[in-house]
Structure 1
């Protein structure tokens, strides 16, 4: 059973826990637990049984996915535009040279937190919040950033930290 997420409370809590979560990230990188992927995947499953993304959509409200050329071409086709027109309308290059949205919240986010282009959404959106990927050790920096965006990632990180905060 999912409950409404208080994004203001989440934002305050995740920021206040950031120093502890940074320490946890460093500890995980140092100790390289062999079962880290398995632990993340198990907690991912449990957490998403409790949290419904449609009750939150904070990722869509505050951050942009990276758009690959294949994403751009696919979405341009959906909107019957040329890829260059889609880029001019919705995207900009970030400091790393990646295509990201020019605005937040995402222009494809509906009032009810559903996605206008869900079936055709970018790869980064399909994979978000990346807590069920292989080699979690290799993306701990990204996962730490996502503790500030996604209540599910925050909860997963908290649960993992229980074993390391003793």
Structure 2
């Protein structure tokens, strides 16, 4: 199962026809921005992203082909190495600025609006999932995920300042509203259930590789990286991506 570019284009057309992108932006506008020192400490993972959000970002980058071609190798490399090496979000530029800030997904926009207790509860869930992934790769493939990856935590930001934080109920309402939009793409069979809960980086990876192919490449690249500390397979994969046209 691959996220075919022709289906992405059909999805964008459908989203524009149904005014979904404007609806998404109205949801985003409900979130009050705050004061951020721009340390990018929170920009260290591929956040879960709704399909309509991916389409919004894809559309944004399609209109900026030079930026797209500059970002996509970094994005694909991040996808294949995220379980073996900690690295910042590939959508940051060399100065630590977000290159997709105006179309960033909901999770990024809500960072800082959660209470410290909620933030730590989320980390517990992430840690449990990471440990399950560690055990799975160890038992099924003999690949060790480094403990610094398994236990990595984005610390709660006490310096983010905002006049009005979005309450839990308000945040859930935003998620529900976006999911209603999301459901339309499933009903039109433009996307399938296999893609539920996909991270932003993975959306782009799946537009170049089908799920099984991406999984096989990831195993080979992780194994080579763990055993030899080099990325010969990854270099071949990236060349394939670069040679593919937008």
Taking structure 2 as the reference length, the TM-score comes to 0.28
Q: TM-score, normalised by structure 1?
A: 0.39
Larger radius of gyration: 2
